[in-house]
Amino acid sequence: MQKTIDQLLQSAFIEDIKGKTILAFGGVVSQDAIVGLGDVLRSELHFKHSLSIVNKVFAIYIEMTQNILHYSNERTDINGKSFGQGAVMVFECEKGYELVTVNLISEKQHRYLEKKCNLINSLSKDDLKEFYLKRRRKIAETDSKGAGLGFIDIVRRSGNPVIFDFENLGNSEYLFYLRAQMFVD
């Protein structure tokens, strides 16, 4: 991924998060890794919150890590299967949790993700619900592993817009930074 967890934690996108790091992983994001890290996250959250809060944070974590698994341009092939590489971090903050993922993307993905994130962030709660329902009925996008519901689901579950940024690495490659804020009452 070209950057270590320590370097990512010091990046401008992440360094303004005020809170305790409760999960930080960088490497191959396989389904097994998602499940294992998810178990650690759930266990940590169960000590502090109701099941409904745990489930919301966990669902956001799943959506964000599956984006790395399916769409990261940095791939590792193991036993005939291809897995994305990237980083996932979860921070416990004063108001709740902030989840961050970072992965390598192409120029084409950069343009697509920027448009998609801006569109989803521009929708009201009611428009977002309507958009979500329309997408569920729509046949999966050609380049998508699903119906394009991941970012919508993150915003709906967290109640906050996604925060995102891109770092141009040259050679038409970018690091895609994605952040979700889940505030707990």
Q: Which of 104, 98, 61 is nearest to 184 (CA)?
A: 98
pLDDT tens per residue, range 2-41: 788 888 888 889 988 999 999 999 999 999 999 999 999 9
Provide the β-strand partners of residue 86. 27, 103
Residue 156 tokens read as 């709906």
Whole-number Cα distances in Å, 182 to 65, 74, 91, 97: 16, 28, 10, 5
Q: What pLDDT shows up at residue 132? A: 87
Task: Give the H/E segment covering residue 24.
Answer: strand 19-29
Residue with token string 């960088």: 26
Q: Are 153 and 59 in contact (CB under 8 A)?
A: yes
pLDDT tens per residue, range 69-103: 999 999 999 999 999 999 999 999 999 999 999 99
Q: What are the extents of the domains in the chain? A: 5-183
Q: Phi, psi at residue 11, to the nearest 5°?
A: -70, 155
Classify residue 4 by its DSSP letter.
-
How far apart are alpha carbons 142 and 156 in whole angstroms?
24
| DSSP symbols for 91-155 | EEETTEEEEEEEEEEEHHHHHHHHHHHHHHHHS-HHHHHHHHHHHHHSPPPTT-SSSS-HHHHHH
Task: Using CB atoms within 10 Å of the CB of residue 94, give its burial: 0 to 12 exposed, 13 to 18 middle, 19+ buried.
Answer: exposed
Q: Tell me, which fold does domain 5-183 have in CATH?
A: Heat Shock Protein 90 (3.30.565)
Whole-number Cα distances in Å, 15 to 34, 81, 171: 24, 34, 26
Residue 142, pLDDT > 70, answer no
pLDDT category of residue 161 using cuts at 50, 70 and 90? very high
pLDDT tens per residue, range 30-49: 999 999 999 999 999 999 99
pLDDT category of residue 143 using cuts at 50, 70 and 90? low
Q: Which residues contact 3 (CB under 8 A, 6 or more apart)?
A: 11, 87, 102, 175
